[in-house]
Amino acid sequence: MRVCVIGTGYVGLVTGVCLSNIGHDVICVDNNEEKVKTMKAGRSPIYEPGLDELMEKSIAAGKIEFTTDLAKGVNHAEIMFIAVGTPPLPTGESDTRYVEAVARGIGSHLMSGYKVIVNKSTVPIGSGDWVRGIVLDSIKERQEQGGPPCEAEFDVVSNPEFLREGSAIFDTFNTDRIVLGGSNPKALDMMEQLYKPIIDGEYAEEGTPTPIPVVKTDLSSAEMIKYAANSFLATKISFINEVANICDRVGADVTQVAKGIGLDSRIGPKFLQAGIGWGGSCFPKDVSALVHTADDYGYEAQLLKSAVDVNKRQRGMVVEKLQHELKILKGKTIGLLGLTFKPNTDDMRDAPSLNIVEELNRLGAKVKAYDPIVSQSGLRDGMRGTLVETDPDRLADGCDALVLVTDWEQFKSLDYAAMAKSMTQPLVIDGRNFLDREALQAAGFRYVGMGR
C-alpha cells in the first residue's frame, strides 16, 4: 500500500520505517530540511536501537523516501499518518496546533481518490471529528480562493501507538494489540490490511502470540484506550513506589513484596519496579491530559492526581536518602549514574535526573554525571549545574556518593571495587533497585536501595 507519514519524530519515523520494511511504499514528510537531509543519508535523527539498520535496508530497497514536500506525500498516499508532536501546555492539556497545521495542509493538497487519514499522534478525546472538520474547512477555503477542486473522499481513523522508547522496533512487530477507531468499515478494513503482515506474525519473534488481536472501535474509545493504558501503567508505578516508602519505614523489602504480589495473575509483575518514578514524553503528558479532560467534563480524577503527586515526591527520595547518610550535602560531590529517563534512549524529556540535579544544586552539592548516550552527545552541553564525565571511572573519582538514576544494563558490570577506592566515601544509592547489593557491598560500598 502507499503510505505517507507526516512528522518524523520518535513515533512517525519508527512507524514509517517499520511499515516500509513489511513491504509498503512510504513517504515520510517533515518540515525540517536538515533533518530530512540526515534521513536521506540513512541516519536516524533519534537514538533507537536497530532503527538505522532498518532505515538503510528500506532506502536500499526503494521502499521509503524522505521529503519536505507535503503535497507529494498527500498525493502519493492511500493512508496518511499524522505523527507530529502534541506537547503538554502549562494547563496540562495537549498542544494540538501542529496536528491542526497538518490537517490544514492535507486539506489544501487533497485532490482525488479515497484516503484514510490516521491520527497516530496522541490527541485529546474527540480529535478525530475535529481533524475531519479542519480538513473539510481547508478544502472549502481552497476552493473559495479559486484553487483546484477536490474530488477526494476520506475518513479519519484513530490508531494509537504503544511503543516503548528503546524497544520500539520490537514493540511494532510484537505488539500486544492493534487498536483501530473509526466509523467507516472500509477505512478500518484498509488499516487492518496495512498491518496484516504484523497481525499474522510474519515479523514477530518466536513466542509472540499470533494472530495479533485487532480492536476495532469508535474514534473516542480508541483515543481513550491510549490515555487509559498509559495512565494505568503510571499509576501502577506510583503504587509500588508508595509501597516502597512504607517498606522503608517498617523494615520490609519492596523487591520481595513486588515479587509476591506480581505472581498474582490479576496483578502481574510488570511495572512493579520501585524507584525514583516515571518520566519521559508519554506518561507525564498523557496522565495530565486525561486529568484535564476529566476536569473539562466536571469530574475530578482523584486517583490520577494522586499518582502524579506520588511521582513528584518520589524524585526527591534519593536526595532524602543522601541527606540521611551524609547529613549536610553542601560541599559534597554526588555522582549520577545515568541521566536519560530510561535506558536505550537519548530522551531527557521530564527525566527524574533533572529534578535531582536541581535539588542537589539548591542544597550546595557538586554534581557529576555519566550516561552512555548523553556523555557522548551534544546533549551534555545543556546540563546546567552538572559536570558530565566521559567515563564512569572519572565519575567516581572524589565523589561522596553515587546515585543510580537510569538502569542501563552496562552499569551492572562496572568495576565497582576500583570506583570505591577512588571515592571520598563509597556510598551508592540505588534509585532503581537495579544493582547487585551483595556485589556492591563486597566491593566496599555501603548500599542503600529504595524500599529495602
Strand ranges in 133-238 using DSSP code E only, listed in sequence order: 151-158, 178-181, 214-217
- Cell digits for 414? 562496572
% helix / strand / coil in the chain, to the nearest 5? Answer: 45, 15, 40
Residue 188's identity, in one-letter code, is L
Length of the chain as a residue count: 452
Q: Which residues, listed in sequence order, are joined to residue 429 by a DSSP beta bridge?
A: 403, 448
Nearest to 106 by CA among 193, 206, 6: 6
Catalytic residue check, 18? no
Q: Does residue 4 sit in helix, strand or coil? A: strand
Q: What string of H, E and C letters represents the secondary structure of 336-396?
A: EECCCCCCCCCCCCCCHHHHHHHHHHHCCCEEEEECCCHHHCHHHHHCCCCEECCCHHHHH
- Cell digits for 331? 560541599
Distance CA 394, CA 276 (A): 24
Q: Within 10 Å of residue 221's Cβ, how many Cβ atoms?
A: 15
- Give the rounded distance of the alpha carbon of 207 from its chain centre: 25
Nearest to 52 by CA among 97, 13, 105: 13
- Cell digits for 382? 545543556
Q: Residues 244, 255: contact at Cβ < 8 Å?
A: no
In the block, residue with C-alpha cell 532498518? 54
Q: Residues 414, 338: contact at Cβ < 8 Å?
A: no
Q: Please identify which of the residues 4, 28, 282, 399 carries the catalytic annotation.
A: 282
Q: Residues 338, 405: contact at Cβ < 8 Å?
A: yes
- Cell digits for 66? 524522505
- Cell digits for 310? 506520588
Determine the longest span between alpha carbons in the chain, in angstroms: 78
- Cell digits for 373? 548516550
Distance CA 382, CA 229 (A): 32
- Cell digits for 117? 487519514
Cis bond before residue 211 (omega within 30° of 0): yes
Q: Residues 403, 336: contact at Cβ < 8 Å?
A: yes
Would you name the residues annotated as active-site residues? 282
